[in-house]
């Protein structure tokens, strides 16, 4: 796992790159979160449905 200093350095570099491209870091990060949610939505729905089935069969 990366150290706190490594994480900070990576974050600052990403901010610098994004800023050079005219992209706000917080907006970009929010979009990354939304993309991760979208990519995993079906998987999470399956897990929740299975959990509900397991509860009903208990």
pLDDT value of residue 46: 96
pLDDT value of residue 19: 99
Query: Has residue 21 been placed in a domain?
Result: yes
Query: Has residue 4 been placed in a domain?
Result: no
Query: Has residue 3 been placed in a domain?
Result: no
List, run by run, the mean pLDDT of 10-residue segments along the chain (58 residues): 97 99 99 98 96 94
pLDDT value of residue 51: 97
Query: Has residue 8 been placed in a domain?
Result: no
pTM assigned to the model? 0.74
Structural domain range at position 45 = 14-56
Number of Cβ within a 10 Å radius of residue 25: 15
For the chain, the domain total comes to 1
């Amino acid at each position: 796992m990366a150290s706190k200093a490594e994480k900070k350095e990576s974050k600052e570099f990403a901010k610098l790159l994004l800023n050079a491209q005219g992209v706000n870091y917080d907006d970009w990060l929010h979009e990354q979160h939304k993309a991760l949610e979208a990519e995993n939505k079906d998987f999470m729905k399956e897990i929740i449905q299975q959990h509900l089935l397991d509860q009903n069969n208990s």
